[in-house]
Amino acid sequence: MPENDTEIARLRAELADAQELAADATAYRVLLPEAGGTELRLSRQSKMSGDGWSVAVPRRGGGVAWTQEGWQESISALSVDRLFCWPDARTAIEETRRALGPAERPQEVPQEGAADFFEPERSYGTQDGFTAPEATWRFDCRHVTMTPEGDEIAFGFIRTGYADWIPTGLGRADWDNKPWRVSVPSRSS
């Protein structure tokens, strides 16, 4: 019995330490496996200016922020009140989860009407909720055409892990050899 009391006391002390650390956190990075592995970046407003939280989904050009008015492209142009609009990190995450909607079905299950190749103006990712973020691929498709040999090719920008975006073209083998999912939010949101 005393061993259990010692273990309980140790766990309570660890919990208190973790809660104290969390109270001082100014930013979080959260992966949402149910939204195709979408990465959220939460930031706390400066204590001198208030106590609101912002949430953004990183992408080319700085990302998009989820605000009470919806997705906002130009994060740097947003007023502090509009950007840091959530009362706490948990609320920011839950509101963004609702905005992102349900996850797509796994690629292994054939879907009626599912695309069989990249589509223009769509973003794709290989995050499945289990792959390390630095091992995932992101592809922002801008145009699909045919090579002189008659093979499909998609042009756009690719990013592996946290590397910079690189202009590229991807073909049928690239489509077939990766578990691509449409990323959320898409470029048009």
CA distance 128 to 23: 30
Of 117 and 33, which is predicted with more confidence? Answer: 117
Same domain, yes or no: 95 and 45:
yes
Residue 156: band (very low, low, confident or very high) from pLDDT cuts 50, 70, 90? very high
In a domain, 114, yes or no: no
pLDDT digits (tens, 9 = 90+) for 49-60: 778 989 988 876
Angle CA 58–55–101, to nearest 5 = 85
Q: Which residues contact 28 (CB under 8 A, 6 or more apart)?
A: 40, 41, 42, 89
Nearest to 123 by CA among 97, 156, 152, 96: 156
Residue 146: band (very low, low, confident or very high) from pLDDT cuts 50, 70, 90? very high
Q: How many domains does the chain have?
A: 2
pLDDT digits (tens, 9 = 90+) for 94-108: 888 888 765 433 333
Residues 144, 150: contact at Cβ < 8 Å? no
Q: Which residues contact 183 (CB under 8 A, 6 or more apart)?
A: 36, 38, 122, 123, 124, 125, 138
CA distance 30 to 38: 8
Residue 75: band (very low, low, confident or very high) from pLDDT cuts 50, 70, 90? confident
Same domain, yes or no: 93 and 138:
no
pLDDT digits (tens, 9 = 90+) for 162-184: 888 899 999 999 998 888 888 75
Q: What is the pLDDT of residue 154?
A: 95
Angle CA 158–161–32, to nearest 5 = 105
pLDDT digits (tens, 9 = 90+) for 117-143: 998 888 888 876 667 777 888 899 999
In a domain, 116, yes or no: no
In a domain, 188, yes or no: no
Instruction: Name the percent of the chain lying above pLDDT 90.
Output: 14
Give the residue carrying structure tokens 């989820």.
66
Q: What is the pLDDT of residue 124?
A: 87
Q: What is the pLDDT of residue 66?
A: 86
- Is residue 46's pLDDT more than 90? no
Mean pLDDT of 74-103: 81
Instruction: Name the percent of the chain lying above pLDDT 70.
Output: 81
Same domain, yes or no: 80 and 166:
no
In a domain, 189, yes or no: no
Q: What is the pLDDT of residue 35?
A: 63
Residues 118, 154: contact at Cβ < 8 Å? yes
62, HSE (Cβ side, Cα atoms, 13 Å): 8
Mean pLDDT of 85-93: 90
Give the residue carrying structure tokens 């919990």.
15
Same domain, yes or no: 25 and 82:
yes
Model pTM? Answer: 0.46
Residues 39, 30: contact at Cβ < 8 Å? yes
Same domain, yes or no: 87 and 144:
no
Same domain, yes or no: 95 and 128:
no
In a domain, 105, yes or no: no
Give the residue carrying structure tokens 């809660």.
19
Same domain, yes or no: 135 and 86:
no
Tell me the average pLDDT of the chain: 79
Same domain, yes or no: 96 and 171:
no
Same domain, yes or no: 10 and 96:
yes
Its domain, for residue 141, covers 122-182
In a domain, 170, yes or no: yes
